[in-house]
Chains A and B, each alone.
Chain A
Amino acid sequence: MIGRKHIPHYAMVLPFMALFATFFLYPIASGLYYSFFDWNATSRARFVGFDNYQHIVASRDFHDAMINLAAYVSITVPLGITVAFGLALLVDSFKGVWANFFRTAFFLPVVLPAFLAATIWRWIYAPNFGLLNMILGWMGVPSVSFLNNTGTMLYALIAVDVWVSAGFNMVIILAGLKNIPTHYYEAARLDGATKLQQVIYITIPMLYPVLFFVVTYGFISALQVFDIPWLLTGSSFAAYGGRQRALLFPVMDMMGRGFGGLHFGQASAYGFILTLVIVLITAGLFAVGRRRFAQ
């Protein structure tokens, strides 16, 4: 029984609960419900059981999207964090104006609108006359169509993604670096530790909670990759994923099924499959992290 004295407390959380239920719980429940229906958003929904799930899992596009995603995540997350870590160490080594300058410079891509970043990179990657091909041309390398060659498209995307995300991760890691007491490094130097040894034996262990956050966040973001490959490939709801679907990812496929094909039941089912994948990977990361913390 709710005591009379608790009523004001419940009344105070009621606005939040109402908004939370309306804009968070209801869409999830509604999405789950429609994932079992054939529904084009306007006509009467038809119950199809698990057909949407089966249809998606059996489809060519889902298969390609998942393979692309696995390759993308396995490269972009470790590479992105390594680059961010390196940048953080670099910025941390500067003092005063230069530290501010480099921090701002590296963070700039984070605040750049995605369409602008993609436009810049489409120019850089352009065959024959793009910046990258010009440089390669000086070295005698023939022109590469980075965004249309299925062998290079994924790496071209990863380079853009690392460029965009490194600044964000760098700022977080930098904040972690500032919290490491300097006397650890002083003691290490007295013991004759090299710079590399200081990083391996002091910096990384002391940064573990921060790195855990960055890794987890990086995985969750990477698993939902959408805007940069969409823009780099000039995708629309009529055609997306680039040449031979080399940059097709699950969120793109989900959006295409929903707004391109009006299969909102399938799109909902797709969302839940992707959510399940993200939850499983995140749970795995937390399990590993918990074990590491326990040590």
Chain B
Amino acid sequence: MNIARRLGMASVLALVLSPGAALAADPVTLQYWVYSDFAEGDALKLQQQFIAEFEKAHPGVKIVISGKGDDDLTTGEVTGAASGNPPDVFMNGLPFGAQLVEAGALDNVYAKWMAMPQGFRDQFDKDAIASCTPKPQTMYCLPYTGFNELLFRNLTVLKQAGIDTSTPPKDWAEWFEQMKKVKAAGKSAMPDQTQVFNSVASTYSIVGPHEEWGIDFAAKKTKINPETYAKALQLFVDMKPLASGTSRNDQATKDLFITNQLAFHVVGPWVDPTYRQAAQDSGLKYDFVLVPGAKPDQYAGIKAYEILGVAPGKNADVAWQFAAYVADKPQMLRWAKLLSRYNANAAAMADPEVAKLPLIAKSVEAVKYGLDVKPPYFVGAYPNCYNSIVTDNAAAVADGKTTPADGAKSLIKDLNDCIASN
């Protein structure tokens, strides 16, 4: 074999092995859709840095990042898939996964995943990977960022109510006693937990087992056990007179917390930047602890992951490479350091520099106890009557229109009717 021929073969080999070089001949523009808070401020700057690095390593590839609101993301991904022009790489939440699969927006990336080095695959949280893999040889996402709820405590309000804040409440009973003291001190203890599906799920997680939450899509029935659920409904009744009347997502709830009118806020870590800012600006004193469970050794709260999906089509391979790049440890490490936010890259979370960050340390601990919001993922889409039935039922019981036991029974019937009619 002469030198020229050997050089030629080496060049071909280099082209095949180097994705960037292979793609250079075929310029491609990837549309990368993210949640709007990923496309603002420091988060955007870091995302742009990831993009610049990837583009540099893959000449000919251009990536356009677009921030979208929650509904706009889902709508755009569904209509994009319908029109044959979906975004190439996109975020969404695990609970919307089945809907995106049904719409044909998500590529089955199992083969691409298995083609990645073992070291790459081992770095992710095992439960998160399982959530993306509904059945053998089928994988619809890379788990990206995520959360488990934490209990944010306003220390000023608690002290005014005569509560020792040195240790968090050990269980629901102690937490509830603290709520009553807060109310007696003229403050609100909690937001109204009946207003939003996630806060109902969160309250259920205090007393209910995880395996009794969600839908059995094969049987077309809810998995909720009425006897257990009646206990959760009793918590709404108990909390009703102590609540602020605002939902956990309202800006008003955050404002009440910041202005020392609200003691507890059970929510994801995304409120922390707001509260941290308030601590600097107005002296807000707060901390975050695990959400207490029914017993001292139990913890509650819901968890969910934001996912990275890849659309099927001619750009699927390079889109996967980009998704794998941003979800890889070095990037997730930088993400966690900058924003102090938990993500599904367990290796990044275990890095000493990240693990020492208080919010991440607490999130890593909390996620072990978290209840999946809408399991099982990627199996079936929750009917759009489901959420409102759950919240209306919780509100009706909290308002005293029915008893927890009767409310739980009627909930099961209504949910099963809703699932069957879908």
- Chain A residues packing against B (C-beta within 8 Å): 40-43, 59, 61, 119, 122-123, 126-130, 143, 145, 148, 234, 236-241, 243-245, 256-257, 259-262
Q: A243 CA to B385 CA in the complex, in Å?
A: 12
Question: Among the listed A123, A148, A257, which residue makes an inter-chain contact with B192, where contact means beta carbons less than 8 Å apart?
Answer: A148
Give chain B residues whose Cβ lies under 8 Å from the Cβ of A41: 78-79, 81-82, 103
Nearest 5 CB-CB pairings of A with B? A127-B245, A41-B82, A239-B387, A42-B104, A260-B384
B383 touches A234 (CB 8 A): no
21 example contacts (A-B, Cβ-Cβ < 8 A) are as follows A40-B102, A40-B103, A41-B81, A122-B252, A123-B252, A126-B245, A127-B244, A128-B188, A129-B256, A130-B252, A234-B196, A234-B249, A238-B384, A239-B387, A239-B388, A243-B395, A256-B384, A259-B75, A261-B381, A261-B383, A262-B78
In this complex, the member of B81, B245, B246, B422 whose beta carbon has the largest number of chain A beta carbons within 10 angstroms is B245
- Tell me whether B197 is interfacial, beta carbon within 8 Å: yes
Given known pairs A122-B252, A243-B392, the reply for A262 and B103 (CB within 8 Å) is: yes
Give chain B residues whose Cβ lies under 8 Å from the Cβ of A238: 95, 197, 382, 384, 387
A142 to chain B, nearest CB (A): 11
Give chain A residues whose Cβ lies under 8 Å from the Cβ of B81: 41-42
Give chain B residues whose Cβ lies under 8 Å from the Cβ of A61: 385
Q: A228 CA to B81 CA in the complex, in Å?
A: 29
> Nearest residue in A to B95 (C-beta to C-beta)?
A238
A259 touches B78 (CB 8 A): yes
Give chain A residues whose Cβ lies under 8 Å from the Cβ of B102: 40, 42, 262
B167 to chain A, nearest CB (A): 29
Give chain B residues whose Cβ lies under 8 Å from the Cβ of A245: 388, 392
Give chain B residues whose Cβ lies under 8 Å from the Cβ of A123: 251-252
- State the total of A-B contacts with C-beta under 8 angstroms: 89
Q: A158 CA to B284 CA in the complex, in Å?
A: 37
Give chain B residues whose Cβ lies under 8 Å from the Cβ of A234: 196, 247, 249-250
Give chain A residues whose Cβ lies under 8 Å from the Cβ of B251: 119, 122-123
> Nearest residue in B to A143 (C-beta to C-beta)?
B245
Give chain A residues whose Cβ lies under 8 Å from the Cβ of B385: 61
B250 touches A122 (CB 8 A): yes
A259 touches B74 (CB 8 A): yes
B195 touches A148 (CB 8 A): yes
Q: A259 CA to B75 CA in the complex, in Å?
A: 6
- Tell me whether B99 is interfacial, beta carbon within 8 Å: yes
B308 to chain A, nearest CB (A): 20
- Tell me whether B391 is interfacial, beta carbon within 8 Å: yes
B384 touches A127 (CB 8 A): no
B207 to chain A, nearest CB (A): 23
Q: A41 CA to B102 CA in the complex, in Å?
A: 9
Q: A148 CA to B70 CA in the complex, in Å?
A: 23
A243 touches B384 (CB 8 A): no
Give chain B residues whose Cβ lies under 8 Å from the Cβ of A241: 388
User: Which residues of B192-233 are within 8 A (CB) of A?
Assistant: 192, 195-197
A54 to chain B, nearest CB (A): 13
A240 to chain B, nearest CB (A): 8
| Given A42-B82, A128-B188, 5 more pairs with CB closer than 8 A | A128-B245, A234-B196, A239-B387, A244-B396, A259-B74
Q: A109 CA to B246 CA in the complex, in Å?
A: 25
A237 touches B247 (CB 8 A): no
Given known pairs A41-B81, A128-B245, the reply for A236 and B70 (CB within 8 Å) is: yes
In this complex, the member of A43, A59, A260 whose beta carbon has the largest number of chain B beta carbons within 10 angstroms is A260
Q: A119 CA to B388 CA in the complex, in Å?
A: 22
- Tell me whether B26 is interfacial, beta carbon within 8 Å: no
- A-contact 0/1 string along B283-309, CB 8 Å cutoff: 000000000000000000000000000
- A-contact 0/1 string along B363-392, CB 8 Å cutoff: 000000000000000000111110110011
- A-contact 0/1 string along B77-92, CB 8 Å cutoff: 0110110000000000
- Tell me whether B154 is interfacial, beta carbon within 8 Å: no
- Tell me whether B261 is interfacial, beta carbon within 8 Å: yes
- Tell me whether B71 is interfacial, beta carbon within 8 Å: yes
Given known pairs A43-B104, A127-B246, the reply for A237 and B261 (CB within 8 Å) is: no
- A-contact 0/1 string along B381-421, CB 8 Å cutoff: 11111011001100110000000000000000000000001
Give chain B residues whose Cβ lies under 8 Å from the Cβ of A243: 195, 391-392, 395
> Nearest residue in A to B418 (C-beta to C-beta)?
A60
B261 touches A129 (CB 8 A): yes
> Nearest residue in B to A242 (C-beta to C-beta)?
B388
Q: A128 CA to B189 CA in the complex, in Å?
A: 13
A61 to chain B, nearest CB (A): 7
B71 touches A126 (CB 8 A): no
A262 touches B99 (CB 8 A): yes
B99 touches A145 (CB 8 A): no
> Nearest residue in B to A149 (C-beta to C-beta)?
B399
Q: A61 CA to B246 CA in the complex, in Å?
A: 25
B242 to chain A, nearest CB (A): 12
In this complex, the member of A127, A239, A256 whose beta carbon has the largest number of chain B beta carbons within 10 angstroms is A239
> Nearest residue in A to B98 (C-beta to C-beta)?
A262
Give chain B residues whose Cβ lies under 8 Å from the Cβ of A260: 384
Question: Among the listed A129, A148, A261, which residue makes an inter-chain contact with B384, where contact means beta carbons less than 8 Å apart?
Answer: A261
User: Which residues of B24-69 are within 8 A (CB) of A?
Assistant: none
A236 touches B391 (CB 8 A): no
B394 to chain A, nearest CB (A): 10
Give chain B residues whose Cβ lies under 8 Å from the Cβ of A43: 104
Q: A119 CA to B249 CA in the complex, in Å?
A: 13
Given known pairs A40-B103, A128-B244, A128-B245, the reply for A237 and B82 (CB within 8 Å) is: no
Give chain A residues whose Cβ lies under 8 Å from the Cβ of B75: 237, 259
> Nearest residue in B to A236 (C-beta to C-beta)?
B71
Q: A288 CA to B250 CA in the complex, in Å?
A: 46
Give chain A residues whose Cβ lies under 8 Å from the Cβ of B196: 234
Q: A143 CA to B82 CA in the complex, in Å?
A: 47
Give chain A residues whose Cβ lies under 8 Å from the Cβ of B382: 238
Q: A262 CA to B380 CA in the complex, in Å?
A: 12
B37 to chain A, nearest CB (A): 16
Q: A127 CA to B387 CA in the complex, in Å?
A: 23
Give chain B residues whose Cβ lies under 8 Å from the Cβ of A244: 392, 395-396
- A-contact 0/1 string along B232-260, CB 8 Å cutoff: 00000000000011110111100010000
Q: A237 CA to B384 CA in the complex, in Å?
A: 7
B103 touches A239 (CB 8 A): no
